[in-house]
Structure 1
Amino acid sequence: MRLSNPIALLCAALALVLAGCSGGGDDLVRVVFIGEPGELEESGLRLSPAGQHLRAATAEGLVALDASGGVVPAVAERWVVTDDGLSYIFRLRNSAWDDGEQIEAEEVRDELRTVLRRLQGTSLGRDLAKISEVRAMTGRVVEIRLTSPLPDLLQILAQPELGLRRGGAGMGPMAASRTEDGWLLEPRPPETRGLPEDPDWDERIRQVFVRVLPAREAVAAFDAGQADLVLNGTLANLPLADVGALSRGTVRLDAALGLFGLRVRSDEGLLADAARREALAMAIDRPQLLQPFNIGGWVPTTRIVAPGLPDDIGTIDERWSDLSLEERRALAARRIAGWLGEGEGRIARVTLALPPGPGSDLLFARLADDFAAIGVALDRVDDPEQADLVLVDRVARYGAARWFLNQFACPLRGGLCSPEADARVEEALSAQNAIVRAALYAEAEAELAASNVYIPIGAPIRWSLVRGGVQGFQENRWSIHPLLPLAMRPI
């Protein structure tokens, strides 16, 4: 990936230096992702949030996500879906690779097939398991065939990992150049991407500089005027957003869809029995758990699959709704006491791995109090591989039960799992009827819930710091904030 010419690169570098000295200007938008600096890479298939955004900016797929999280045309200018939902036919726009050669359907087909093979063994690969064939029909038409309808296929194809590349280089809406501590991105003129020419393009756009910093440094950079936008904030570091930054910008919360809870990794001792694992889940006071964070609108849940999704047929309810918190804890305490009384030397103690940060400290303190209420001591460890429980904090890629269930598939080996739940999900691969598929997913969720291999808490928290002059930022449930809209100058 490179800027269009050496002169542009020199000017961009000079602008970057001047912006760093002066606190920024109209010609540069400075974006910081919270994380570790090594995460700002867009190679491979397991991308960090920063890597996902960089990949999406430099290598478009057939479709992409816009600032609101909606699916929009990308390499494909339009598409049709057959009445049975088993075939998606994409018409490619008249665009070229970075070296000027035309993008042909055969190349797109081959790249998609390669990506699908490489994704096998990942949760995203499981999401795409219904694809049975990718065909090049003519020079600019590609067909994707499915084993059964997948209403969320376009949303999945819009994921950054499905960006099309040739020889490791993609043709995205932005050209990128590596700097010492980040990436400098320049929007490509629309006519280079097979789109109508915009005579005012140079006046409408500006460059974007992207880097990754630990949470405290990211917030400090924003507070000092050295960053216009901070992305990928989580509950672990949310308290830092209140330290000075509010005087210079705004904390924005995505109403994210996904998983936030505890995955059980150990099947020994106290956690060997599903009923005792359930005891831990029953002990948590979910409505009060995040009270110290003062997050308006956050809704706790005891369900694994987010309630109210389009394929939710209403057969799975919130758990223990007929019991008060005190009644739940009394039942849970009896189970723990019964296990302790069955053998000498037993200790009701479990370990939990959380990411570092003041938010994690608050969360741990609350969970420790909840578990103590049923006679279980909670210890914190740094290494997830050595923990009995690990925090799952993950934003969904699309809004269907299948995504949630795929996160706990046994082949992924992220912790305890349910082969019975996997079997129901596998059955749904070939089910043609939407109601039948939804019923199979409900059965799979019920199997997972009964096994108590995951303790749901609620939806994940994602926050950003956004300066007033930044255009193109919108909250959305996928916590994806494309870089190209951020490059637009304020009107």
Structure 2
Amino acid sequence: MAFSRHLSHLSALALLALAASGLNGCTRKSESATRIAVIGDTAAPWHDPWTPAARATTAGRLLADSLGEGLVAFDAEGKVVPGLADRWIVADDGQSYIFRLRGAAWADGGQMNTESVRQGLRAAIAAQKDKPLSAALSAIEDIRAMTGRVIEIRLSRPMPQFLPLLALPELALPPRQHLAGPMALKAEGADALLTALPPEKRGLPSVEDWGRTARPLYLSVMPAAQAIAAFNAGKLDVVLGGSFTDLPPVGHGPLSGGPLGKGGLKLDPVVGLFGLVVENEDGLLAHAANREALSMAIDRASLTTQIGVPGWQGTTRLIAPGSEADTGMVIERWADMDLEGRRTLASQRIAQWARVSGQGAHLRIALPSGAGGDALAVLLQSSFAAIGVSVQRVDLRAPADLRLIDEVNGEPSPDWFLQRFGCALHPHACSPAADGLTHQALEAPDPASAKPLFAQAERALLNENVFLPLGAPVRWSLVSGESQGFALNRWGLHSLLPMAIRAR
């Protein structure tokens, strides 16, 4: 079977740059370095970006994507493009992915070989154990280093979205595998200077006049309020990594409808999970009926107003309503009850539990810092107080009874949502029935047979109330009109390499 051929990531970007060259004349600003801030409250990971703590941050994921490299990568629009592999085929009814590595050398001068790539992939996969990606990665049955520059990944079942999974920064091979990634980093105090490596150093065809094609990026990490102020003052070209927890109050920030909100604000079309996961299954949360009472009490309509994002709606569903993953066979919960009615029933349950147990109804909720997190804390405290439950807000990393989950799912498949709360990750608060139905759906012979099984699995998990849904995640950026290489995408990921390629 012949390999399907793809343009290299860099070559595709170079073509786009040349195509855009006649659209806009270069200004002085476009000739200078692009200044980018990544929203974060922790120290910049410039000096050791490959530690688990660093890779868990937005800045760390961007660096993994920029300094390391996987078999495939994402372009600015979130489409899969070549990485270490310049071509591939899918065989055996979607259970065999065969990649041919490009003819590149490692950073130490040694020739790239399939065994070193195999070892790097296995290490990257092992690092995801007990993390959200582990369920999807469990479908990888074997990684085989074959002859020449060919490597095969065998799956236990077909995964139509397997290539995007491989393109995630979590599966990028780090420099300790002697990999020369697409960019180089130099720490400069609190900032980092990132430059795109010449193509020939990556085993790719050279690009004429590379010095004018590439543009340097200055990267900083700063809190959201500081980044927004710097962007408004013209000191930054791009702000990345915005989420719900970073949103200022409506009328005071990028969603206020002012010049920034109309032009600079970019909202990615993401779906995923945004809600509270049960972490302590003792006491009040030991009973599914009590967990349901908490979910019934949440004022999602007020949350919609607080977020202020056009089109954002709260949900009581697990799988994102209206998304490609939605089966269309599960409806919103408690649709026949208004908020007052839901809270009346919920408060009766909580009061009965308190009488029987002799305990007070009290919860610790772990939420991130930031204006959005502050607003969510107030809303949850008010919602739960209405049914007789007091709330203590704790740090996102502290022990808690409920913890906020804010995760994007770029893979439009129901099993991602369902396996996120499978018994493998949540053994004490899960639904074995939902796990079984999900497994049956994944083994189904066709999508039509799988759909009702996925719907039954979602209902089973909703009945357990191990997750209290709030709505969709929010991912936003700020981008000046002269910036290049930025595009909205369903992953909420914005690779730095496209921003380092100048239109001529």
What residue in structure 1 maps to residue 128 of structure 2? 119
Q: Which residue of 445, 457, 476 corresponds with 1:463?
A: 476
- Aligned partners of 1:358 and 1:431: how far apart in 2? 45
Change over 3 Å in CA distance of 1:461–1:431 after alignment to 2? same
What residue in structure 2 maps to residue 298 of structure 1? 312
- Aligned partners of 2:328 and 2:233: how far apart in 1? 49
Alignment of structure 1 residues 336-355 onto 2, 5 Å: 336-342=350-356, 344=358, 346-355=359-368
What residue in structure 2 maps to residue 180 of structure 1? 189
- CA shift digits 1:101-139 (9 cap, x unpaired): 332223222322232333333222321111111112321
Q: Does 1:282 align with 2:289?
A: no
| Letter of the structure 1 residue corresponding to residue 368 of structure 2 | P
- Aligned partners of 1:401 and 1:310: how far apart in 2? 8
Q: Which residue of 44, 69, 78 corresponds with 2:87?
A: 78
- Aligned partners of 1:365 and 1:166: how far apart in 2? 44
Q: Does 1:398 align with 2:449?
A: no
| Letter of the structure 2 residue corresponding to residue 464 of structure 1 | S
3-state secondary structure, aligned to 1:261: strand
3-state secondary structure, aligned to 1:399: coil
| Letter of the structure 2 residue corresponding to residue 67 of structure 1 | A
3-state secondary structure, aligned to 1:38: coil
What residue in structure 2 maps to residue 16 of structure 1? none
- CA shift digits 1:344-383 (9 cap, x unpaired): 5x43332322112222222222223322333333332336
Q: Does the Cα contact within 8 Å between 1:147 and 1:430 map onto a contact in 2?
A: no
State the shift of 1:466 in Å.
1.2
Tell me the matched-pair count.
Answer: 468
Compute the TM-score of the two structures, normalised by the length of structure 2.
Answer: 0.84
Alignment of structure 1 residues 173-212 onto 2, 5 Å: 173-212=182-221
- Aligned partners of 1:272 and 1:231: how far apart in 2? 39
- Aligned partners of 2:445 and 2:141: how far apart in 1? 14
What residue in structure 2 maps to residue 157 of structure 1? 166
| Letter of the structure 1 residue corresponding to residue 160 of structure 2 | P
Q: Does 1:369 align with 2:388?
A: no
3-state secondary structure, aligned to 1:154: helix
State the shift of 1:253 in Å.
1.5
Q: Does the Cα contact within 8 Å between 1:241 and 1:251 map onto a contact in 2?
A: no
Change over 3 Å in CA distance of 1:353–1:123 after alignment to 2? closer
Change over 3 Å in CA distance of 1:361–1:120 after alignment to 2? closer
- Of the structure 1 ranges 478-487 and 24-33, higher mean CA displacement relative to structure 2 is found in 24-33
Q: Which residue of 24, 32, 35 corresponds with 1:30?
A: 35
- Aligned partners of 1:326 and 1:241: how far apart in 2? 26
Q: Does the Cα contact within 8 Å between 1:69 and 1:480 map onto a contact in 2?
A: yes
Q: Does the Cα contact within 8 Å between 2:250 and 2:308 map onto a contact in 1?
A: no
3-state secondary structure, aligned to 1:290: helix
- Aligned partners of 1:184 and 1:204: how far apart in 2? 17
Stretches of structure 2 lacking an aligned partner (at least 5 in a row): 1-27
Q: Does 1:269 align with 2:283?
A: yes
What residue in structure 2 maps to residue 143 of structure 1? 152
What residue in structure 1 maps to residue 18 of structure 2? none
Q: Which residue of 354, 372, 381 corresponds with 1:359?
A: 372
Q: Does the Cα contact within 8 Å between 1:97 and 1:103 map onto a contact in 2?
A: yes
What residue in structure 1 maps to residue 19 of structure 2? none
Q: Does the Cα contact within 8 Å between 2:272 and 2:472 map onto a contact in 1?
A: yes
State the shift of 1:171 in Å.
2.4
Q: Does the Cα contact within 8 Å between 1:130 and 1:429 map onto a contact in 2?
A: no
Change over 3 Å in CA distance of 1:289–1:65 after alignment to 2? same
What residue in structure 2 maps to residue 234 of structure 1? 243
| Letter of the structure 2 residue corresponding to residue 173 of structure 1 | P
What residue in structure 1 maps to residue 6 of structure 2? none
- Aligned partners of 2:49 and 2:165: how far apart in 1? 18
Q: Does the Cα contact within 8 Å between 2:264 and 2:480 map onto a contact in 1?
A: yes
- Aligned partners of 1:458 and 1:146: how far apart in 2? 32
Change over 3 Å in CA distance of 1:337–1:118 after alignment to 2? closer
3-state secondary structure, aligned to 2:146: strand
Change over 3 Å in CA distance of 1:51–1:384 after alignment to 2? closer
- Aligned partners of 1:204 and 1:414: how far apart in 2? 52
State the shift of 1:455 in Å.
0.2
- Of the structure 1 ranges 272-281 and 314-323, higher mean CA displacement relative to structure 2 is found in 314-323
Q: Does the Cα contact within 8 Å between 2:67 and 2:175 map onto a contact in 1?
A: no
Q: Does the Cα contact within 8 Å between 2:44 and 2:220 map onto a contact in 1?
A: no
Q: Does the Cα contact within 8 Å between 1:309 and 1:400 map onto a contact in 2?
A: no
What residue in structure 2 maps to residue 474 of structure 1? 487
Change over 3 Å in CA distance of 1:269–1:244 after alignment to 2? closer
Q: Does the Cα contact within 8 Å between 2:182 and 2:497 map onto a contact in 1?
A: yes
State the shift of 1:428 in Å.
5.8
Change over 3 Å in CA distance of 1:311–1:352 after alignment to 2? closer
Q: Which residue of 441, 446, 469 corresponds with 2:459?
A: 446
3-state secondary structure, aligned to 1:96: coil
- Aligned partners of 1:474 and 1:33: how far apart in 2? 16
- CA shift digits 1:227-258 (9 cap, x unpaired): 21111112222117965776566122222221
State the shift of 1:489 in Å.
2.8
- Of the structure 1 ranges 397-406 and 351-360, higher mean CA displacement relative to structure 2 is found in 397-406
| Letter of the structure 2 residue corresponding to residue 80 of structure 1 | I
What residue in structure 2 maps to residue 51 of structure 1? 60
- Of the structure 1 ranges 48-57 and 90-99, higher mean CA displacement relative to structure 2 is found in 90-99
Change over 3 Å in CA distance of 1:349–1:125 after alignment to 2? closer
State the shift of 1:193 in Å.
2.5
3-state secondary structure, aligned to 1:360: helix
